[in-house]
Amino acid sequence: MFIEPQIAKRKGTSAGWIEVICGSMFSGKTEELIRRLNRAKLAKQSLEIFKPAIDTRYHETDVVSHDENAIRSTPVQFAHDILLLAGNSDVIGIDEAQFFDDSLPEVCQQLAAQGKRVIIAGLDMDFAGKPFGPMPNLMAMAEFVTKVHAICMQCGALASYSYRLSAEKAKVMLGEKTAYEARCRSCFMEGMAEDE
């Protein structure tokens, strides 16, 4: 269970930090992001939430979990747009971080240096089991990393892989339960071997 850290005060300013929530599809990443953002809202902290403009699966603008919990957000094309739109917010939420360009880690560093709490959710691996987009760099520089797990849809074990059910090989393919399923390492490897 993640316990929100207290903002450390240093010379009259707040120290910012980066939190990353990662895992496979259907592991509850967005659900956890929304939970943390709602707690910040209850604490009367100002928020700005962003998602990649490409992600319109559930809603054009809102961040929506697979369980249909939602929170207002701003879709952006490029990571640097976040710097322009963050304003004086205390907390910045970023969903589907794997779809952003490689400048996202630097953007998050700048936001944290401004004293902001930056909470990021995203897939740590793509459908081939390889590190996905800017996520490895974000995980390396974050003060807090939470890896959440799904349940393997083949055997019921803990799952950390997103297995693509189609033969499509494009790295980015938006999809839901009809396109992907969560799998444990063993079932993922077995499926990948069958696909070859």
CATH of the domain at 50: 3.40.50.300
Sign, Cα dihedral of 151, 156, 159, 164: negative
Residue 111 lies in a domain: yes
Residue 74 near residue 48 (C-beta atoms within 8 A): yes
Range of the domain at 106: 9-150
Residue 174 lies in a domain: no
SS3 173: coil
Residue 166 lies in a domain: no
Global pTM value = 0.86
Residue 133 lies in a domain: yes
For the chain, the domain total comes to 1
Kindly provide the b/e burial profile for residues 100-131, where b requires at least 16 CB atoms within 10 angstroms of the residue's own CB: beeebbebbbbbbebebbbbbbbbbbbbebee
What is the pLDDT at residue 58? Answer: 55
Residue 36 lies in a domain: yes
What is the pLDDT at residue 57? Answer: 55
Residue 51 lies in a domain: yes
What is the pLDDT at residue 167? Answer: 78
**Catalytic machinery residues:** 96
Residue 97 lies in a domain: yes
Alpha-carbon distance of 112 to 119, in angstroms, equals 10
What is the pLDDT at residue 175? Answer: 57
From first to last of the 196 residues of the chain, give the pLDDT tens digit. 556 665 544 455 568 999 999 999 999 999 999 999 999 999 999 999 999 988 655 545 555 555 556 677 899 999 999 999 999 999 999 999 999 999 999 999 999 999 999 999 999 999 999 999 999 999 999 999 999 999 999 999 999 999 999 877 776 665 566 789 999 999 999 999 988 7
Phi, psi for residue 110 in degrees, rounded to 5:
-65, -40
Residue 136 lies in a domain: yes
